[in-house]
Structure 1
Amino acid sequence: MGNSGGSLTTRSTGELDQLMRAAGFTDIDDTNALAEGWQVADFADAGRDSLANLVQRTGTPAVTVTFHDSDVGFIEARTPDGHSWEGLLNREMAESYEIPLEHFPIEPAVAGALAWSTAAGLTPDEKAIRQTLTGSAVFAEELSSALLAALGLPGATQTSHARTWGIA
């Protein structure tokens, strides 16, 4: 059985796990520093407004990817000024779960990802973002790693598996 939790990526000067708990995330572990203050933390579950609460508390953009059995990743991202976007990773696998792909159109997700990245002061790679949102991989976590790199997060690297599956 695969991962059914999620990961959060944000820039934080405080203790990220404490900020996440206060925002409604549960069972936080494996907080890893990327670069320039960006951090990634794994969590078991989050409330409906957890991401919005965290962004409000930290005043920095954040993105979560919630995994369904490591097969599918549901993306949600927010900026402090209230802009948000959603996306889906591993569309082919999502279709096998009968997840309605029309609820996750690619073009608005690409546009949202580019705007989010720019608002975060990053330099996104539009082609790579599109590839992660349309690509497939054995594990959705591979696509998630590729997405973070495509968004321009300093210190984020694509997994070797992501490159193998043609998304890098």
Structure 2
Amino acid sequence: MGNSGGSLTTRTTEDLGRLMLAAGFTDLEDTEVRAEGWQVTDFADAGRRSLANLVQSTRTPAIMVSFLDSDVGFVEALTPDGSRWQGLLNREMAESYEIPLDRFPVERAVAGALAWSAAAGLTSDEEAIRHALTGSALFAEELSSALLAALGLPGATRA
């Protein structure tokens, strides 16, 4: 059985685990600290407003990917000004779960991802973002890594 939790990435100088718990995330893994203050923490579950609560407290953009048995990734990203976008990773596998793909338009997600990356002060790669959002992989985590790299996150590598 694969991963059914999620991963959150944001930039903060504070203890991300403490902030995430206060925002409503549960069962956190160790935080991986990356360059330029970016941090990544895996979690078991998030409340409906957990991402919004976290972005409100950190005042920095954040991106969250929730996994469905490592087969599908649901992407949600938010900036402090309230700009939000969502995407779907491993669309082909999502179809087998009967997830309605029309709820996750690719071009809207690409546009949102580009705006999110710019708001985060990063340099993104539009074609690589599109590829991550339309590609297929054995594990959705591979596409998540590719998406983070495409968004320009320091230290992120394409799987």
**TM-score, length-scaled by structure 2:** 0.99
Opposite residue 6 of structure 2, the aligned amino acid is: G
Q: State the SS of the aligned residue for 2:30.
A: strand
Aligned 1:144-155 pairs, distance under 5 A: 144-155=144-155
Distance 2:36 2:147 in 1: 18
The 10-residue stretch of structure 1 (26-35 or 113-122) with the greater mean CA deviation from structure 2: 26-35
Structure 1 position 34, deviation (Å): 1.6
- Provide runs of 4+ in structure 1 moved above 4 Å: none
Q: CA deviation at 1:112?
A: 0.1
Q: What do residues 19-52 of structure 1 show as CA deviations (whole Å, max 9, x unaligned)?
A: 0000000001131012100011000000000000
| Correspondences of 1:89-100 after superposition (within 5 Å) | 89-100=89-100
Question: Using the alignment, how far apart are the partners of 1:113 and 1:34 within structure 2?
Answer: 20
Note if 1:139 corresponds to 2:124. Answer: no
* Pairing 1:10-159 to 2, within 5 Å after superposition: 10-159=10-159
* CA–CA distance in structure 1, aligned partners of residues 155 and 149 of structure 2: 8
- What amino acid is the match of 1:97? Y
Q: 1:162 matched to which residue of 2?
A: none
Question: Which amino acid letter does the alignment assign opposite residue 70 of structure 1?
Answer: S
Worse-superposed segment, 144-153 or 28-37? 28-37
Q: Secondary structure of 2:36's match?
A: coil
Seq. identity, %: 77
Find the residue that maps to 1:29 and give its secondary structure.
coil
The equivalent of 2:2 in structure 1 is 2
Offset, 1:158: 1.3
Deviations 1:89-109 (A, max 9, x none): 000000000000000000000
